Structures are given as structure tokens and as C-alpha cells.
Amino acid sequence: GGTASISRFRGALVGAVLGDCLGGEFEGAEEVPMDRVLQHLNGLDHDTRGDSILQYSDDTAMTRCVVQSLLTRGEFDQQDMAHRFAEEYRQAPGRGYGSGVVQVLRKLSSPRLSDVFQPARAQFGGRGSFGNGGAMRAVPFALAFRNLADVKRYARLGAMLTHSCSLGYNGAVLQTLAVHYALQGALAVPQAFINRLISEMEGVEGDDQARNDARALNEPEFPFCARLHKVKDLMEQNAVSIEEVISELGNGIAALHSVPTAIFCVLHCLEPRAGLPEQYGGLERTVAYCLALGGDTDTIACMAGAIAGAHYGADAIPPSWQRCCEGAEEAEAWAHRLHLLYHQPPQGG
Ligand code: R7I
Ligand code: MG
Ligand code: MG
């Protein structure tokens, strides 16, 4: 499809849901042979599962809240979004939330709370969480806002409702930027895509908060930029092993150890790769590759699925996958509504 087409919107949202549902099988696993991944994925082709579907986790549960808030309010409304997170958690606490964030979600349900960003700031001794929970639910911000400054601003604020550490919310900004550029077709030139992300993140990570957090957590200055440079190095290598990806970029629950990894998976799988079935298209390769990394597979596949879906569009999604993932059908409807919001002329003022 063309730039910011409906097909790309559908691809992004459905891709995110599929990554979450399909990746759940291996979340936390240390070593996942590609054979097991392919067995899992190819099993979806046959009707052996009967009526059973793969359930989504917190990644999709919170993404749904972001979508519904943006669509209902027509803009970013921090109170509304915070209350939706809290209510979703209250109704379905068993979706596999991070162990720290549940405290924030409980506090956010208090009607007496006046500053909805306060519970997030109290996490982890006052520094806030650097988990990838802000990034995993970031895709709707790229689909609701067209203007680059808005994309960055609202992705950050949306993440700060639970993740007040810059290593958490800047991961959400990076993920949103990746989807934003993918929607515009920027993955057609992979080198330009990664360079653009680096130059944007140089601005994002240049503030005092980011510098202080990086120092306090013993990370280099501009930590996401440093990881994106590693992504670039890996892109230039002929052969890259899974072990190398894990040791260079990570596969963990920290945004810093998963968002650049997801971006790498998309870039690496733009071409056919040894070890991946020849009949697989790019989106299938991307999801399979993410699962084979082990670690935080649902979240890495969710983020990579969103970026890849925005690039390849809805036609790249195997119907057999979509059929067996909870929430994937509904994601189609959100895509249509977000597409309208995105292309809505700016409100006069
Ligand atoms: O980031 P978050 O919402 O978790 C998302 C992950 C995804 O993989 C989901 O699929 C789900 O499985 O959980 O939840 P948080 O609790 O904020 O952060 C996740 C974990 O990161 C925490 O439970 C901690 O183990 C770790 N963590 C930290 N540890 C020490 N110091 C996050 N921030 C810190 C920190 O500042
Ligand atoms: Mg999850
Ligand atoms: Mg996860």
C-alpha cells in the first residue's frame, strides 16, 4: 500500500497482536530452537487446535486501552488513559503483567488520585521503571498522530503513566518512531531508516533527565543511540548468529534490551534468511526470528510485529495466524478508526 495506507494501519495493529499471542508460548524460555518455533507456527495452519485460541497478554490488553482512549477522546487524555489501564487490570489481572507495574495499576484506580503520573514516579526507589511496558503498547500513538513532534510527545507521556525512568519511556518513543517511519514506507531503504532513528533519538536522549538516568544506571550516554549503532553494525555483517544478537542487543524485559532488538529483527528479516522457511514472507520471518531469540518473546514479537506490519501491510498476515489469535479480528476495526483519526484535518484554532 501507499504511504500511511489503511493496509499499513491494519498490518501494524494486527502484527502487534499476533506477536504478543504467538510469542507467549516462549516468554522467558532461555533457548528456543528454530525447529520448535516453526512447529508452533506451522501448527496454526492445520485445524488441530480446534476452537482454542492463543490468548493475548498485558501487551495487547494495554494497547487496547491506549487505542480506546485515543479513539474515545479524540486526543491524548492522561486521566482517561490511566483509568482505562487501572480498570483493565482490575477486570483481568492475570494477563502476565510485570511484577512492578501492578502496584502502579492498583494506585491508578484510586478516585482520589489527582496526579496520574505520580504512582509511576514512586517505582523502584523513585527512579521509575525501565521495563518495556511503555514500549509494548506504543503502536497506537504512531497511528493516531501524524505530526512528528506529537508522535514523540504523546508516546512519551503515554509511557510515563507507568514508566517514569527515561530508559523506559524513551524506549516507547523509539518504538513509536519506528512504526511512524515504517508507515511512510521508510523501510524500503534500511540504512536511511536506521540513520533517521539514530538522529531522532539523539535529540530525544539529549535532555538532562536522560543523561542523569543513564549515568545513574551505569549506561553509556545516549543509551538507545548506542544500541542503534550496534543494530547498524549487525546489519552490515554477512552472517549474524542468534547468540550474537542476544549478547549485543539483549532479549530481556528492559526497554533498552528489547526495543532495539525488535527493530533489528525487522531489518534482518527484510530478506530471506537461512534457517527460515523459503515460503515465509517478511512478516512471518520477523515473528519467527523474534520467537527464536527466547527471553521476552511476546513483547519483542509484538513490537517487531507492529513495525513489520506497518511496512508489509495487512496482506502479509497469514489468515491462519490471525484466526487463532485473540483480539486480532478486533484490531482490524481499530485500524480503520485510527486511520480516520490520523488523516483527519488538523483542528482549527
Ligand atoms: O515494564 P513492565 O510493564 O513489564 C512488561 C513486561 C513485558 O514483557 C510483558 O509481556 C510482561 O511480561 O512484563 O513492568 P515493570 O514491572 O515496570 O518492569 C518489568 C520488570 O523490569 C520489573 O518487574 C523489574 O524486574 C524490572 N525493572 C527494574 N528492576 C530494577 N530497577 C524495571 N525497572 C527496574 C528498576 O528500576
Ligand atoms: Mg506480555
Ligand atoms: Mg513480555
pLDDT in tens for each of the 349 residues of the chain? 688 999 999 999 999 999 999 999 999 999 899 999 999 999 987 655 556 799 999 999 999 999 999 999 999 999 999 999 999 999 999 999 999 999 999 999 998 999 999 999 999 999 999 999 999 999 999 999 999 999 999 999 999 999 999 999 999 999 999 999 999 999 999 999 999 999 999 999 999 999 999 999 999 999 999 999 999 999 999 899 999 999 999 999 999 999 999 999 999 999 999 999 999 999 999 999 999 999 999 999 999 999 999 999 999 999 999 999 999 999 999 999 999 999 988 765 4
Neighbours of 38 (CB within 10 A): 17
Query: How many Å lie between the centroid of ligand 2 and the Cα of residue 96?
Result: 5
- pLDDT at residue number 177: 99
Ligand 1 pocket mutation pick from 106, 129, 290, 303 by most atoms within 8 angstroms of CB:
129
| Locus of grid cell 523459503 | 278
Query: How many Å lie between the centroid of ligand 2 and the Cα of residue 27?
Result: 8
Residue whose CA lies nearest to ligand 1 atom number 14? 98
Determine the residue type at 184. Q
- pLDDT at residue number 52: 73
pTM over 0.95: yes
Does the model's ipTM exceed the 0.90 cut?
A: yes
Residues near ligand 1 (Cβ within 6 A): 57-59, 96-101, 124, 127, 129-133, 136, 165, 253, 296, 298-299
Query: How many Å lie between the centroid of ligand 3 and the Cα of residue 346?
Result: 35
Residue whose CA lies nearest to ligand 1 atom number 10? 299
Are 135 and 172 within 8 A, CB to CB?
Answer: yes
- pLDDT at residue number 238: 83
From CA 134, how far away is CA 63, in angstroms rounded? 10
Query: How many Å lie between the centroid of ligand 1 and the Cα of residue 161?
Result: 14
Ligand 1 pocket mutation pick from 58, 88, 253, 290 by most atoms within 8 angstroms of CB:
253
- pLDDT at residue number 47: 56
- pLDDT at residue number 337: 98
Are 174 and 141 within 8 A, CB to CB?
Answer: no
